Structure 1
């Protein structure tokens, strides 16, 4: 048995290490919604190990560990020796302390083997064996999937890749092409990406098709297994641009971030914010458009020659599917950005701007009508509360939407513009209302003319 190595960590001084990538969520964020950062069924890593509420899953983890050892070409002693060789690097990934009685390396080994075996099992053709208990239950699979994305419930991704290469080397470096079958550790491996598609918690199939060129073919077998397990988030795409995830939370954030790099501005004083909510901006001629890209917001000035609207702006926002399951994912990726990506907080900035647009249920109505929000929470008030709660305790030192905010504020202040837009909103909102308004105007003119003729006759 590997001797525990965590005693040194418990009493170590608090220092910053560049290698830190797995954090405890700060208490300010956790206090907003503690359940969103806490695993429901499965503990991975040291932070939640020993939680009595998660004890039932330990037997399944040990069973998967045994299955992995049978599949592997290495003995248990070789696996433990492998862990010992990477002990320092693994420890340096965790920012924080944990209980000294934890047998750290053995804990990490069992968790890592469980994850790899789970991913391999997920990719295999036959999924009706008793050993596939987790994958056979849709509720349990979704809960385990959710727990594996929590920021405090992570293993270093490099460890999973290296352990996969070490223990199952036959196909570690090969690309498991789409639709192909390969034998891995004596089991048949089949691509299941195109089988029953899981629903992405905040987007739906087809949302990102316009930008599917983001990625390059996956070169590492385990990375492909990972993307297949989290296909609800990866949408069948692969990781490109040489991106190397630190862990699963980081991987999910990667697929939520825009495909193209945005220009970031340091907020030296107060960040520039939109002063007017969605309903007022709509009246001022701003047209909200759903955008089928990962979390991003764009604006386009559109010139028209409509007699009642000289010009208007289009604000394109990634379509948001507001539902309870998505909130947990948002919170953990936003917490990761606060701790690890403070200079590029894409997800935080998206929700910050949404929070500026939404103040009342009427603002939500505007965005729902324009197709920017699809509400699965039951009421518009729930959407207002969710967006507001997501932004609570979130700090913005950098922004990529300052220019958009300034433009929208300037656009709203245009004096000549408001009367024209109000006329358009009231009388020309749609074809039927516009036709009725024109007909009424014509009738009014004829009535006036008839009145004048009658007066002349008198």
Structure 2
């Protein structure tokens, strides 16, 4: 009895806890209170986290990544590395110090010295190298961030490279636009091979300087009567200036020279929706069903191709093909493939359109006859150029969905013309096919005549 009473008393004591104020609380109530305390701590922690996140959101958001000069993806390079790699002069850090490009480093220094030696005029002062260096140094951190692969150069080497390369570009532009006469012994302008190679190298994606560098140096070295830097750039491109429509760029910041060229080529062309590309028939097939190709007015932007679905007329601005054209187009396409803001693949769409229009030398000849294409290459090389421009590219969006739909609709509606054209091509213009058809017709006539004779004889032999 005593043990039972003791156990009962112990259980009673264990099941109750004395609290201040004389009250008693059960063990279950005590655990619940502990959970409430723990839950309260968790709620406080949640509030603390939320408060911290809110403070971070209220801070100034970081600026958009200024990266705009990057390496060409390897899958694009493997098809033809030469169109992406400088052959004569390095600009910027990616190919800086290349052994085969060292010969132009002395020319760069010579061009810079010539810019510094320019005599001042009443409206200008002597160009100070200290002023140029100071201006570039003040932007060094930003300029480094413009490159996807951060330049592994010390501050002195980086600033020197920016100043030397930028001043080389400016003097090249001045002489190329006849604002400065090249010397009789100028190693660039007096040697056509070097001149052509330098122009190509200045349009390579991996061979760009941030626009702010060239503009900063240009503003500090410009002379009275000089046009804007944008005007210089137009004349540098591989086509005459009349084929590039001026476009206001005040609403957007130019990143580098290749970006400026792309902007001028695109003009007002826009893509409102993302649509997959629908192939269209080649030139010769379209002409068979009545489509006419015309040269667009010269003031129209290069990429502004139109189709009149009522009259069946496609207007295309003139395209000039020379030895450096493939390099320019493929670098523009590579830039579109990697630039964040260029979700509209205008140059890729342009290349794909010509890839479908020109499938053979006959297609090319028809556009050459219409003065739509002028080529310095052979017909075979020109066709191959169009057929490989889009190799290994990513189809992001396309700029001619309406045109493609109209052309294909026009083509499908004229099925009778297509059928007659196919017969004409397969039989009338094919000697072997004509011979086969002739033989077939003769055999049919002979069999028909034989059957007729037998029918007549059978009739007279009847009893």
Distance in 1, matches of 2:170 and 2:323, equals: 28
Q: What runs of 5+ residues in structure 2 fail to find an aligned partner?
A: 1-61, 119-124, 426-463
Would the alpha carbon gap of residues 131 and 161 (structure 1) be closer, same or farther in structure 2, given more than 3 Å must change?
farther
Between the two proteins, the alignment pairs up a number of residues equal to 351
CA drift of 1:363 comes to 3.0
Once residues 358 and 38 of structure 1 are traced to their aligned partners in structure 2, the CA distance between those partners, rounded to angstroms, is 28
C-alpha deviations, 1:180-204, integer Å up to 9, x for none? xxxxxxxxxxxxxxxxxxxxxxxxx
52-61 or 83-92, which deviates more? 83-92
CA contact under 8 A between 1:342 and 1:397: conserved in structure 2? Answer: no
Give 3-state SS (helix, strand or coil) of 2:83's partner.
Answer: helix
User: Structure 1 residues 16 and 40 mapped into 2: Cα distance closer, same or farther (>3 Å)?
Assistant: farther
Q: Which runs of structure 2 are paired with 1:174-323 in the superposition (5 Å)? A: 176=226, 220=228, 222-230=229-237, 232-235=239-242, 239-243=246-250, 244-257=253-266, 259-267=267-275, 271-291=276-296, 292=298, 293=300, 294-303=302-311, 313-323=312-322
2:168 to 114, 120, 125: 114
CA distance in 1, matches of 2:97, 2:422: 65
Shift of 1:57: 0.6
Is this contact kept in 2: 1:40–1:54, CA < 8 A?
yes
1:45 equivalent to 2:54? Answer: no
Pick which of 329-338 and 277-286 moved more: 277-286
Question: Post-superposition shift, 1:297?
Answer: 1.6
- Counterparts in 2 of 1:137 and 1:278: CA distance versus 1, 3 Å: same
Secondary structure of 1:285's aligned partner: coil
How far did residue 17 of structure 1 move?
Answer: 5.2
> Offset of 1:281 from its aligned partner?
2.1
Classify the secondary structure of the residue corresponding to 2:137.
helix
Name 1:355's counterpart in structure 2. Answer: 355
Mapped to 2, the partners of 1:117 and 1:235 lie a distance apart of 23
Task: Report the 3-state secondary structure (helix = DSSP H, G, I; strand = E; otherwise coil) of the residue aligned with 2:209.
Answer: coil
Provide the C-alpha distance between the structure 2 equivalents of 1:288 and 1:237, rounded to a whole number of angstroms: 21
SS in 2 for 1:134: coil
Query: 1:98/1:422 Cα in 2 relative to 1: closer, same or farther (>3 Å)?
Result: same
Partner of 1:346: 346
Alpha-carbon distance, 1:316 to partner: 1.9
Which residue of 137, 140, 159 corresponds with 1:105?
159
Query: What SS does structure 2 have at the residue aligned with 1:262?
Result: coil
Shift in alpha-carbon separation, 1:134–1:374, aligned structure 2, 3 A: closer
Question: In structure 1, what is the Cα distance between the partners aligned to 2:354 and 2:238?
Answer: 26
**CA positional deviation for 1:133:** 3.3
TM-score by length of 2: 0.67
Counterpart check, 1:160 vs 2:214: yes
CA contact (8 A) 2:174 2:180 kept: no
Tell me, in whole angstroms, the C-alpha distance in 1 between the residues paired with 2:222 and 2:410.
Answer: 60
Q: CA deviation at 1:20?
A: 1.6
Q: Matches of 2:387 and 2:412 in 1, distance apart?
A: 26
Question: How many Å separate the matches in 1 of 2:375 and 2:318?
Answer: 11
TM-aligned CA distance change 1:36 to 1:276, over 3 Å? same
- The 3-state SS of whatever aligns with 2:309 is strand
- Matches of 1:48 and 1:345 in 2, distance apart? 27
Distance in structure 1 (CA, Å) of the matches to 2:245 and 2:405: 36
The structure where strand makes up a greater share of residues is 1
For residues 191 and 237 of structure 2, what CA distance do their matches in structure 1 show?
16
The answer (yes or no) to whether the contact 1:264–1:398 under 8 Å persists in 2 is no
Deviation of residue 236 (structure 1)?
A: 9.1
Question: 1:179 aligns to what?
Answer: none
Compare the two structures and name the one with the higher helix fraction. 2
Partner of 1:387: 386
TM-score (norm 1): 0.68
CA distance in 2: counterparts of 1:412 and 1:233, whole angstroms: 34
Residue aligning to 1:3: none
Q: 1: distance between equivalents of 2:359 and 2:172?
A: 43
**Counterparts in 2 of 1:423 and 1:120: CA distance versus 1, 3 Å:** closer
Corresponding position of 1:190: none
1:60 to 101, 107, 117: 107
TM-superposed deviation, 1:62: 1.2
Q: 1:328: which partner in 2?
A: 327
Choose from 85, 90, 104 the match for 2:138. 85
